[in-house]
Amino acid sequence: MARHKTKVIKIGKVRIGGDFPITVQSMTNTATSNVVKTVEQIKELENAGCEIIRVGVPDLKAAKALSKIREEINIPLVADIHFSADLALEAINQGVDKIRINPGNFPKSGLEKIVRLAKKKKIPIRIGINSGSLEKDILKEQKKATAEMMVKSALRFIKLMERLRFYDLVISLKAPDVQRTIKANELLAKKVNYPLHLGVTEAGREFSGTIKSALAFGVLLSKRIGDTIRVSLSADPIQEVKAGWEILKSLGLRERGVTIVSCPTCARTEIDVIGISKEIENLTCQIIKPFKVAVMGCIVNGLGEAREANLGIVGVKGAALITKEGKIIKRVAKKEALREFKKELKKYLKKC
């Protein structure tokens, strides 16, 4: 299926849309006014693979900190603004790479000034629709926003921006459930060619939120809809970045770091598959170069999976076979399995 055709939008050094790779985003949860803490968190997120970072700007103190934060980081900085045109203007003047505004709570009276300044500074604006903060006239008396209402809100705001001759736009339509998120984005993708930022908002804690995001993004990205993603979790934002990458890797859309192929274990298991896989994850979390490791409990599927991996360990009666680029290089005693495999892994990582 061909990718949904969109404009290319430049956010600092990163481009999204068109044929550019789907990027992984996250958001800080420090006080933006605390420059030291915020920069520290962004750097950790950068190391984990975050490619665009958004910070909340609840007040002027936070807005005034933006230029200092931007100076210290290497990925594009996005200011998340609600309710206030003045904060948006200050954020743009501080040199952010993009702003995100929410039509449901943004004063339309301030829009013209913002658009003028964003054009001057050549930065894009994300129109971020959330099902929980839709405009009252669209929601009418209904308690729950439908996908159609979210699309209506987006189209109306896009028209407003286009009337002001502003086309440097990214759009997001987020709901806390999978079905509405999918439907809203599918509907909008038929109507506009702006890049789409995907997200299931308020998705919940790490486990359930990751599953919801994986499902929604999986459906949309398989239909080639979506240009950048954020997995929203009530958890450390590092987990958002990890989950984002895992989703893109699983769909074959991006590559980064280790991919572990490990079996679920059963009565045939000859080695500590769970412990070894965990250890590999810890040892390889900083590695960017893509590579594959197979950890298989027995011979049933073991050698087949190991053949496709850069490194592998397969349990056999009382021992373990270690493989490299599909070939068996060692047979070690069961109790030496982890130590010996770690040795081989470290040797391999030195070359990464």
Distance of closest approach, residue 300 Cβ to ligand SF4, in angstroms: 4
Shortest distance in whole angstroms from residue 262 CB to ligand SF4: 8
Task: Tokens for 244, please give them.
Answer: 């984002």
Comparing CB distances to ligand SF4, the nearer of 60 and 266 is 266
Q: Which whole-number Å values give the CA distances from 159 to 84, 115, 163, in the listed order?
A: 21, 13, 6
Question: Which residue's CB is nearer to ligand SF4, number 266 or number 285?
Answer: 266
Query: Whole-angstrom Cα distance, residue 25 to residue 336?
Result: 41
The CA distance from 33 to 73, in Å, is: 15
The size of the interface with ligand SF4 (CB under 6 A), counted in residues, is 12
Q: Name the helix (H) or strand (E) containing 198.
A: strand 197-198
Displacement of CA 32 from its chain's centroid (Å) = 20
Report the nearest approach of ligand SF4 to the CB of residue 167 (Å): 53
Listed ranges 8-16, 45-53, 203-211, 292-300: which one lies at the site for ligand SF4 (CB under 6 A): 292-300
By C-alpha distance, which of 16, 14, 40, 15 is closest to 29? 40
Nearest to residue 297, comparing CAs of 323, 266, 253?
266
Which residues are registered as beta bridge partners of 56?
A: 80
Q: Between residue 262 and residue 281, which ones bind ligand SF4 under the rule CB under 6 A?
A: 263-266, 268-269
Other CB atoms within 10 Å distance of the CB of residue 349: 16
Among 27, 129, 298, 332, binds ligand SF4 (CB under 6 A): 298
For ligand SF4, the closer of residues 268 and 346 by Cβ is: 268
Q: Which of 43, 46, 301, 330 binds ligand SF4 (CB under 6 A)?
A: 301
Which is nearer to ligand SF4, 107 or 304 (by Cβ)? 304
Q: Which of 198, 298 has the CB closer to ligand SF4?
A: 298
CA distance 59 to 91: 10
Q: Which span (164-172, 203-211, 300-308, 328-336) binds ligand SF4, by CB under 6 A?
A: 300-308
Interaction between residue 67 and ligand SF4 (CB under 6 A): no
Whole-number minimum distance, CB 325 to ligand SF4, in Å? 20
Q: Which residues 206-265 are close enough to bind ligand SF4 by CB under 6 A?
A: 263-265
Residue 288 Cα to chain centre, angstroms: 16
The separation between CA 214 and the C-alpha centre of its own chain, rounded to angstroms, equals 11
Q: What is the DSSP letter of 196?
A: B
Strand order in the sheet with 327-333: 258-262, 291-296, 311-316, 319-324, 327-333
What residue number has its CB nearest to ligand SF4? 297
Residues binding ligand SF4 (CB under 6 A): 263-266, 268-269, 296-298, 300-302
